[in-house]
Chain A
């Protein structure tokens, strides 16, 4: 039997090949895919998030861990699809209009994928019509918006209002260096992600999946 604790360790260490190998072995041994996801991959990413907040690890370690997670998820997804299990939820993600910063946004995307979300990444400098169109098309549980400049964070309340006016009833979360919890509340967002791991936690909270 595959030791799921050991699988989590592979994710933490960012070893994609080993992560994939263990996931495959677990599935071959008839282990429940949901258990592999939660107690192996997500457990690993939870440790990564904790260590990131404590400044024990930094962006590169999170990136490789997320890549390892992705290698495992790719093997799990067909199993979920076959058994009709949906991913945790869909997130439409993007950096607001006028802003072309994407490192933080990409990190959030990778970690959300790592946590089991389906992520539709609209890229940077996303105009409002493009955002509304993507939301209409994918009916996401969560819309996540990023802004790195004080001159572009003003786009947040505008986008949020437009989303609500268009009838979007799902959750909206925001993040980026110049933002704060206070700003997020004023802008009408449902959550504020202070950094990538925090964004994942907030996303899990928003869909009610977190403990």
Chain B
């Protein structure tokens, strides 16, 4: 029997014939619910409210949400399978997304060498080229494609004659053109308008698209799309190929989120179905989400989709597997090897995106295991591969990658840092959405200063707020370097009463102490002793990863030119706080640099320039992957790095 589910406040409905998972029904209405813990029912953050309908509470609902919330209709979205009509309210905090940038304009040195070029040529008449095409008097005359190839070859040998069309590289025109069906269709259609055409070729000499010389889309500059496919956030930039300029960009929550928050839960979703239906669902969700972002970019820049000639995507191996529709199951089991590791070169039509089928598509190469094309893109964008002296790059995210590299070597490692910065493992953790505490300072007097996103009453703590809070409490002596939160009694002898009063002894019975950061009565924001432990795990795994990489090259921190902090979240981090808790090594702060979304910048780089694309290929070929779990020294380093640095003497 068919029934309907209604979602508020959007007032969208979904009808089902059989019991359906709430998150998937919501996704069907384009309402993406975040599940920070990947529906493992540990975080309790995917709460939605049942406004109408009978949805019995389970043990997990009671455990994570509490009796009072359950009585008000709150339930865990991740546990909910519905078989009868219901109206569900989805709170806005569940749908926030972080913006991602695509790097600044210092990324390029012009002129660029775009991987796709448009050239205007005249297709010669059959009799003009019969002898060149190898056809004798008794052979049929060559087709338009063969004649186009001859014309392109001839054009390649000539200097540029027309201000608008760039010269074709000799190696380009010597290819067989290997057109896809779409390009052949376009060629046939163009012939009706006359012999003058504009043809687009990729770096391998493949014919991508053809249109009549006077055609509309050829009038504007060629564009491309840089895709930064993150596990949590997906970002798209529309770029003018010849200049590398970003015309528009958009980002949103990865539409795979209903299948889980991290790479491993996505893989698990694919793995569950032997018939490939899981991998297929991941692919369709991702492509649909990308299509939406692409449409937004095209619309805001007023660029017709037909002018998109190329796309380049970066992402971790699981994201690129699912972008291609490939089953990522093998990435979920040691030794974590995918179906391919290097770059992939094909056509946009093969990805199922709503773009010209003949647009060139490039997936940047990865390093291996879970270190993917996003890391390679970040390496190229930061110039790590050309650095004279060894430089550290830390890409903070759901999984944090650590790279030590220079022109002589590149070492990469993936730390299983986990989604603490996104808030999943933190009691009141959240994304940098309105109400999130993003900065914390403690004054000499013991008063606590908060900066909250949107200037609202605080409701939670985002990644930078978490780091800031821990740094401030460490500096004030509320937290010991071991990570232990001092007792109220100890604090009363040590810090101003205003501060000591904020220490709550075991507010949740059994979970230990907590520090009251702010918030109004009933909606207090606490940093718990357990939260501090989670932060230690992240910090410990990154710091130990750095030490393993340094040891592999027998280097010390003093030998390193600098530390680059990448990642969307990294930009909001305070350098002093990151160093105070040891997330960033203790070096001169002037050698620590925030580089923003380096993966996105790298995607734009490999989209626009063949030279940068070659650098990515070369970096991927020589990058070494260090499996931290196999490093014999890692467990001891990890245990040692769990502690925070001793705070500098106050002054």
Contacts and interface: CB of A to CB of B under 8 A. Distances in A.
A98 B267 CA distance: 13
B488 interface: no
Contacts of B512: 54-56
27 contacts: A53-B510, A54-B510, A54-B511, A55-B485, A55-B513, A57-B482, A58-B483, A58-B533, A98-B333, A100-B627, A100-B630, A101-B416, A102-B629, A102-B635, A103-B635, A106-B635, A124-B629, A148-B416, A149-B264, A150-B40, A150-B260, A150-B267, A151-B264, A151-B271, A151-B333, A178-B40, A182-B60
Contacts of B475: none
Task: Give chain A's interface secondary structure class.
Answer: loop
B334 interface: yes
Interface in A158-188: 178, 180, 182
B118 interface: no
Contacts of B42: 180
Contacts of B536: 58
A201 interface: no
Interface in A18-74: 53-61, 63
A202 interface: no
B268 A151 contact: yes
Given A55-B530, A98-B332, A60 B643 contact: yes
Contacts of A151: 264, 267-268, 271, 329, 332-333
A interface, size bucket: 20 to 34
A61 B538 CA distance: 18
Interface of B: 38, 40-42, 60, 260, 264-265, 267-268, 271, 329, 332-334, 416, 482-485, 506, 510-513, 528-530, 532-533, 536, 627, 629-630, 635, 638-640, 642-643
A211 B416 CA distance: 37
A125 B334 contact: yes
B32 to A, nearest CB: 20
A188 to B, nearest CB: 19
B334 A150 contact: no
Q: Which 8 A-B pairs have the closest CB atoms?
A: A151-B332, A98-B333, A55-B529, A55-B512, A150-B268, A100-B629, A54-B512, A100-B334
Nearest to B629: A100
Name the residue in A99, A102, A125, A150 with the highest tally of chain B Cβ atoms < 10 Å from its Cβ: A150
A95 to B, nearest CB: 9
A125 to B, nearest CB: 5
B533 A101 contact: no
Given A63-B639, A151-B332, A101 B268 contact: no
Given A55-B529, A58-B533, A152 B333 contact: yes
A158 to B, nearest CB: 13
A150 B482 CA distance: 30
A104 B268 CA distance: 22
B482 A58 contact: yes
B482 A61 contact: yes
A53 B509 CA distance: 11
Contacts of A149: 264, 332
Given A98-B334, A150-B268, A178-B40, A57 B484 contact: yes
Nearest to A153: B268
